[in-house]
Amino acid sequence: MARGTTYVKIGTPKEIFEGEARVAMTPDSALQLQKLGHECLIEAGAGAAAGFADEAYAAAGVTVVEGAEALWAQADIIAKVRPPSDEEAVRLTESKLLISFFWPASNEALMQLAADQGASVIAMDMVPRISRAQKMDALSSMANIAGYRAVIEAGNNFGRFFTGQVTAAGKVPPAKVLVVGAGVAGLAAIGTSTSLGAVTYAFDVRPEVAEQVESMGAQFVYLDFAEEQQDGAATGGYAAPSSPEFRAAQLAKFRELAPEMDIVITTALIPNREAPELWTEDMVKAMKPGSVIVDLAAERGGNCKLTVKDEKIVTDNGVTIVGYTDFPSRMAAQSSTLYATNIRHMMTDLTPAKDGVVNHNMEDDVIRGATIAHGKAVTFPPPPPKTKAIAAQKPKEKTPELTPAEKRAHEVAAFKAQTKTQVTLLVVGAVLLLGVGLVAPASFMQHFIVFVLAVFVGFQVIWNVSHSLHTPLMAVTNAISSIIILGALMQIGSGSWLVILLAALSVFMAGINIFGGFLVTRRMLAMFQKS
């Protein structure tokens, strides 16, 4: 779609997929789209399931159109959630641009039909995972909601508290939750699970995410397996298929964990492939009665062998397996808001001049990566983006814990080194002072010795304070105060009234800094104390 083609009208039809409650345009996103020079259309009732009434759209300047056929005919750009049905696909003409989830690897015939009819198609599930495209990453937006909702759904089917409790009636242990896959959905599930008080474990084929997992309060499950994993930058930021040896080690670890886990949430997906089977039938049989499995990969075949798409089943040994595929749709208002924002950002890149003129720049990494049909040709799969995704970092080697004997040896060695340094400094300083004293007058030496001692004491005091307990500014001011107050105390017995007055003022002002510092520190610490 070349520069100069004007797409004035953006329309959003009502989703016809059964159970789909999301909508691709909200009243707020419509206001932003209008600022780009576009006119917005919405099919009557399209936002009702997500809680957006036609009146709210009309108040935002959106034209409410009766019937899907009329909307498709009037709109130049069609913004949808689900891929078009066969009935909708035939309405795609050469003058139209479709923006929606599409799953091109699974819908080759539909993609070819759109290309043959001359329509351009941008698949929101194909947005490359580079830093600049995060605001358009609809998969991450939906995965974030799915991860959160998965934990809520697990809790709804779990017969105990997530957090441990000690009551008069007895002790309730905390639930143990395993999250398989630490992508966007996995991290959302980890955050929700830990916030509810569960003991949370997480596994991912990318060991570089271990630090992120542990920072959220979960325990990362490591494998005793040495294999160089593929850099996520080379795969567009997604996980790549693992070797058979790694998979064997992975399954062995899961079999070890299965009897201990109360809740298992699987999120593992590989782009344009069926979901890998990670939780086998024997693992399900090894789980305790009352345990719950939530399979977020159910739409792509499922990570659990026994998952039934769009259903909740209970196995013979009492394990509940949830295979719902509509988690984002169960929070339709939030999902629609995020998805509509993703589309609005995509339209911002497509309309750089904000004049309603679409510049379908196929040299742009984001636009090219997401475009699967353009110029009467299929453009899927896209070439690798020129801008790489964030590269995988090598995991930090964990420093082994020292034994008490080793700790003692280190402390003794550090003490000896510090003592040696201090003795050396004192000897060198004494020699220098002696050299100065041989040539300098006695009145100068009195003041010089006070100055040197003040600097030495101030340096030793401040240097031995932990960096976490003071800022550089505080360290400098306290060092200066120590110098001032020591010098002033030495001079306060002088025979000159002017020197006595200045010394007294110096002690007073240095005292304000010292005691005021204590008061400020006390107030700061009180902010972090639990009442």
Token pair listed for 427:
């000897």
Cα gap 526→531, rounded to integer Å? 9
State which amino acid sits at residue 248. Answer: A
- Residue 69 DSSP one-character state: H
Angle value at C-alpha 53, between 49 and 55, nearest 5 degrees: 165
State which amino acid sits at residue 375. Answer: G
106 is catalytic: no
Spell out where 319-410 has E strands: 320-322, 357-358, 371-374, 377-378
Which entry of 137, 262, 326, 364 is annotated as an active-site residue?
Answer: 137
129 is catalytic: yes
User: For residue 479, how many C-alpha atoms fall within 13 Å in the half-sphere facing its CB?
Assistant: 18
Spell out where 101-227 has E strands: 120-123, 165-167, 170-172, 176-180, 199-203, 219-220
222 is catalytic: no
Which entry of 129, 206, 300, 344 is annotated as an active-site residue?
Answer: 129
Cα gap 230→207, rounded to integer Å? 11
160 is catalytic: no
Longest alpha-carbon distance in the chain: 105
Q: Which of 253, 189, 187 is nearest to 221 (CA)?
A: 253
- Residue 240 DSSP one-character state: -
Which entry of 29, 100, 120, 140 is annotated as an active-site residue?
Answer: 140
140 is catalytic: yes
Report whether 483 contacts 458 (CB < 8 A).
yes
Report whether 295 contacts 322 (CB < 8 A).
yes
Cα gap 330→336, rounded to integer Å? 11
Which entry of 238, 247, 255, 349 is annotated as an active-site residue?
Answer: 238
Which entry of 34, 112, 117, 134 is annotated as an active-site residue?
Answer: 134
Q: Which of 128, 207, 140 is nearest to 392 (CA)?
A: 207
Q: Give the active site residues.
A: 129, 134, 137, 140, 238
